[in-house]
Amino acid sequence: MRLDLRFSNRSLGDLWCQAVALLVFQTPDLNRGALSSLNKRMTGFLANLFGRDLWAGARGENLLLATQNAIQAEKLLLHGLGPGKEFDFSILEAEIGALGSVLDRIGVRDFGIHIPSEGMESQYGHCLELSAVKLIETFLENHRNDPDYIIKIIFSIESNFMDVLTQVVSRLRSHFDRVLDLSIIIDSRVRPQS
């Protein structure tokens, strides 16, 4: 298995990949962050979806949508985290593993992902590292011995968190360098997200 891991301050809607995955709290706030940006790009579709209670964001709940060219990726996978007030590292680890399993089952090898920062701002570097490790380990379980299996993961990060990446990347390299063929890129040359 070979891994191309990237961290970028480009929004999910601007990432060229098979799918984008978004972790969403129950009763999501459509006026903030990645969810707001995607909702605008999809001309209010997500607001309509949440407004009609068609998807609630309950913990472990998934919804796969075709983006119909509203964003660069073909698919959008929403994964529920449950209530924001209950969110912690153990929930993040469990749900990122479940999300990785879903992506692997539907054959997605090239995807962008956004990890929410709400309530975890001071520990966001740890959230990114934990998420990357859990996602990679999920794919390693099924594809470790397949030298032709290539996976590309792009973490979409808000510009104000780009400074934590040096330490995150260093720890990820030491964790996975001997386990798999690994490339890690920090894409910080792009415009900050609006």
3-state SS class at 104:
helix
pLDDT at 194 (0 to 100): 37
- Above 90 in pLDDT, residue 63? yes
Q: Which of 44-58, 70-84, 141-155 has the lowest mean pLDDT?
A: 44-58
Average pLDDT over residues 139-143: 94
Average pLDDT over residues 143-172: 93
Spell out the CATH class of 2-187.
alpha beta
Q: Which two tokens stand for residue 26?
A: 């129950």
Farthest CA pair distance, the chain: 48
CB 169 within 8 A of CB 133: no
Q: How confident is the model at residue 189 (pLDDT cuts 50, 70, 90)?
A: low
